[in-house]
Structure 1
């Protein structure tokens, strides 16, 4: 079995396209650090340590609407300055990015936007009307309980996490790597005219199928680790600053329903994204079983990943739009929307966050798709 796994891994990693994309992933991660280093040097700042020393006096400053407006005006002024000082540059760029977050975001509930105080008002109204047993009330109350107790917003340098935890960008690399490396794992045997030999051999429909599955999982795990470590370098050089800050103070995730830290978000994101990657890997293998042409199998695999987003661009934002846009493999791998949005589904009269529903569907789907891969793999015919 070990020899078969080694053989299958060798076939996957022998593809030039796979190595080109792996190098592209490494460059994407390293370039984040390079650009940061160049920007600091151009403004006379001697690396990350000096930057953190300059910004240290502002750490823990309470963020208010007034202070955001003041910094926004400062940002506009400094950007017009021909040669700002070190502190001016850092305040108007790095600090500005982390400071000017939405401290009073709107949350989506039943396709309507509510701020926290508006939720309380609407809940009181529904109570007075005696509608506490309705899904509308349960849903609003559920989301309100998740977001009502938030820490006082304070400034902390944490912008590197927006790049290191860019699961959307990373998942694009990963889905393409799976399409290039895994989508041909069965079809290549037919296209290279070795299927007749493989299927007639003693282990052709048993051990070899298991070896292909194991090698596919190993490949996906390797590229997952490489991709995420490449992007984590940026935050590592920044000494993981801001890891213990609330997630809702991370730019673009202000309206999250999760009361967790940035580090907890990152760890959960890794786990969920990896789950999605494994499911996508098994789907790619299933496509490869039924499509005996390498190019078509690769294209179909990429379509499985990108199609839901593409379809939503042409759908009205009602009805099936929500299902197509949220309950799909790309959302599972990208994960950002799962933590950013507060959308729920009515499950037997109870509100369930779409992130929890999507994870549940993935956990159910993985063994089913794996079983189908083994089942149809053993039934291969020429």
Structure 2
């Protein structure tokens, strides 16, 4: 009964209802934008007219699915030749490049065209017209380019000190052992989901902080702490029920919103491409040997663990700072402060320090794109290996500090 009572207290607060409303609006707007206005769901018909929405998604899925299969040297050469025929046709040339009518003929293999641009464009550069200057024979370098450009990048003077020799060897070994030829499949749903994941995770993290900030602080603010801590179970069972209900609500809210958002994307775009490697889904340079569905679940679980850790920290602040507002502000700074500092600073030391802060768990697709490792006692760990352990430990360690912080509070 006490557990259910604490659950209701959290869910019925005005701050919770308002926060849920704001979160729903934000996620709904994100979904509408992805479905109606995104580049990945636009379609250009033979006349050059662009359309968006469900109809465009269906048409694009149909024509892109025709190119599904292994990206062999022959398949890449075919795309290069097909592209050459279109871009060199005077009928489709304009001062700015390719006309809409010309693009309409390339959009079926647009994903593969992008991969070719990544392969031949260098490690940190991208030019949408790189493929236009290639000849079919270049297809034989499609996969070797990925390894060669990585080695060249790691050897640059401004990069070489960022990684140890062991870390560089680790990256190169993963590049060389990636199983090729890769299998391509239409995977726009997964692409949009992975791209949007970070925004959803940040929104959920902030929402959870707002949700949990009053759990202990409200007892101080309304003067109920004197009654609460003087009862038979107030200093033991009731505090445990508060903690348990807080983590229960965090879990329920997180998975409802995260899976709900994902479900809508899958419903509209489909789940095609789940087993395709992420390298064929706009993560050409990623060193992870995983599929789209594996990347999705890794980010989902990592984000959940990060939210639990941030929730645990917010509960500690709620018990110590005694006001909801101050708890929310400090939690927000812990989330956003290191993220902004990490983006603003080019210092290798700062980047290393920022690697252990909570915002790393909310990075979504940035984790797939970054070349980031944790070397501890000579052993190398990826973010998906190190961060879950770190933040599970943090979430657990903070609980007793919260418990005793509220229990030992001196009622005035």
TM-score (normalizing by structure 1): 0.80
> Higher relative contact order by CA 8 Å / sep ≥ 6: 1 or 2?
1
Q: Residues 1-382 of structure 1 correspond to what in structure 2 (within 5 A)?
A: 1-12=2-13, 15-31=16-32, 32-35=34-37, 43=51, 46=55, 48-60=57-69, 62-63=75-76, 66=80, 70=84, 81=99, 84=101, 89=104, 91-92=106-107, 95-96=109-110, 99-101=113-115, 102-103=118-119, 106=123, 116-117=147-148, 136-150=164-178, 151-153=180-182, 155-165=184-194, 166-232=196-262, 233-251=264-282, 253-324=283-354, 326-382=355-411
Residue 53 to residue 159, structure 1, CA distance change in 2 (3 Å): closer
TM-score (normalizing by structure 2): 0.74
Q: CA deviation at 1:121?
A: 8.9
Partners of 2:30 and 2:64 in 1: how far apart?
Answer: 25
Deviating beyond 6 angstroms after TM superposition, the runs of 4 or more aligned structure 1 residues are 74-80, 118-123
Unaligned runs of 5+ in 1: 108-113, 124-134
Q: Is the 8 A contact 2:83 2:106 kept in 1?
A: no
Q: CA deviation at 1:177?
A: 0.7
Partners of 1:195 and 1:98 in 2: how far apart?
Answer: 63
Q: CA deviation at 1:281?
A: 0.8
Structure 2 residue aligned with 1:129: none
Unaligned runs of 5+ in 2: 45-49, 125-144, 155-162
Residue 138 to residue 301, structure 1, CA distance change in 2 (3 Å): closer
Partners of 2:395 and 2:153 in 1: how far apart?
Answer: 40
SS of corresponding position for 2:331: helix
Partners of 2:169 and 2:396 in 1: how far apart?
Answer: 35
1:77-115 deviation digits (Å, cap 9, x = unpaired): 699746x49xx54844x85356403236749xxxxxx95
Q: Is the 8 A contact 2:184 2:276 kept in 1?
A: no
